Amino acid sequence: MEDLKRGTTPDGQRLDGLIVYDIDRLTRDNRHLEDAIEVVENFRRPIIDITGTLDLLTDNGRTVARLLVTVANKSGADTARRVRRKHQALQQAGIPTGSTRPFGYKDDKRKLDPKEAAALRKAVERILTGASPRVIAADWNKQGITTTRGNGWSKETVKQVLRNPRICGYRSKKVRDFNPETGTESVRVEPVLDDDGEPVRGQWDPIVSVADWEAVTEVIGKSPEPGDAYNARKYLGTGTLRCDKNGCGGRLRAMKAPASRNKPEGFFYYTCPDKRSGYGCGGIRISGPETDRTLKMLVIAKYEEEAQEREATSVPEE
């Protein structure tokens, strides 16, 4: 519409008008139709269909167009409702859908791909023993393991695969959450529930146990953390603290306390990765909340020290 108003295409070529196959190929929304009418009326750029029945230059033609768009909008809504019902039926039956095969499975989306399934099981084991998704991504890229689209791995794509309930045999669905504070939308995956509130089993072979999937999502989070326009750390010591036992030097990782330890909600430890992960000795575990409080005190003390030094510097008189 903006190009039509200017009368030129983005690359500077002359643009006299617009031809569409039918009015519902132009729009099915009356708001957009009014934008098109404004272009025709105020900027004298004709918009026609191939049959010549679309006429936005006359009052009668615009009235007919509004009626046709309303009918097309109703038809689109009916189609969308039927599609939603169909997908709900497929979900409750545990039938896999989608055009791209899931990682770990063959093209039928039911049988396991031995190499990819083994890589996923190993990744879950390593995450539970202290490795990070970033390390898993780097190792898969080094081994030449690609996504099902042939791309390389990143920390986030590894998390997406591990969070998906499909790997433990549950039928999953996408849920969209809108953050009114930031105006952004995030997408998470969660199990489909039946009428009794129980997860629906999918018609495919699981790669890991339900217990292992639940454990790994506790470590990496069950859903992507919503952006808040700030590069904020959830755990202050991540990437900073090191293990000093026997010269290990491994990076300490934050790990939520298991329920068996009866710690307060949200309690966590900073731990050195297990020896089996290849990234630590497993010999250090310290209280996370207490460590974060200490870090905050150190930062404040450092700031106050520098502020005192600045105040102590005499300013020469003019």
In a domain, 145, yes or no: yes
Q: How many domains does the chain have?
A: 3
Residue 125 shares a structural domain with residue 211: yes
Residue 88 shares a structural domain with residue 125: no
Residue 16 shares a structural domain with residue 84: yes
Each of the 318 residues of the chain gets a pLDDT tens digit; together they read: 889 888 998 888 999 999 998 888 888 888 888 999 988 888 888 888 887 778 888 888 888 888 888 888 888 888 888 888 888 888 888 888 877 899 999 999 999 999 999 999 999 999 888 888 999 999 999 999 999 989 999 999 999 999 999 999 999 888 887 777 766 777 788 898 988 889 999 999 999 999 899 888 888 887 765 543 344 567 888 778 999 988 888 888 888 888 788 888 889 999 988 887 677 888 889 999 999 999 999 999 999 998 888 777 666 677
Query: What's residue 168's pLDDT?
Result: 93
In a domain, 317, yes or no: no
Q: Which of 45, 60, 93 is the last residue of a domain?
A: 93
In a domain, 135, yes or no: yes
In a domain, 237, yes or no: no
Residue 77 shares a structural domain with residue 158: no
Q: Which of 93, 124, 148 is the last residue of a domain?
A: 93
In a domain, 235, yes or no: no
Range of the domain at 306: 245-312
In a domain, 236, yes or no: no
Residue 215 shares a structural domain with residue 118: yes
Phi, psi of 112 (to 5 degrees): -75, 145
pTM: 0.52
Residue 12 shares a structural domain with residue 62: yes
In a domain, 239, yes or no: no
Query: What's residue 162's pLDDT?
Result: 93
Query: What's residue 230's pLDDT?
Result: 43
Calpha distance 76→25 (Å, rounded): 12
Residue 84 shares a structural domain with residue 28: yes
Type of residue found at 274: D
Query: What's residue 232's pLDDT?
Result: 52
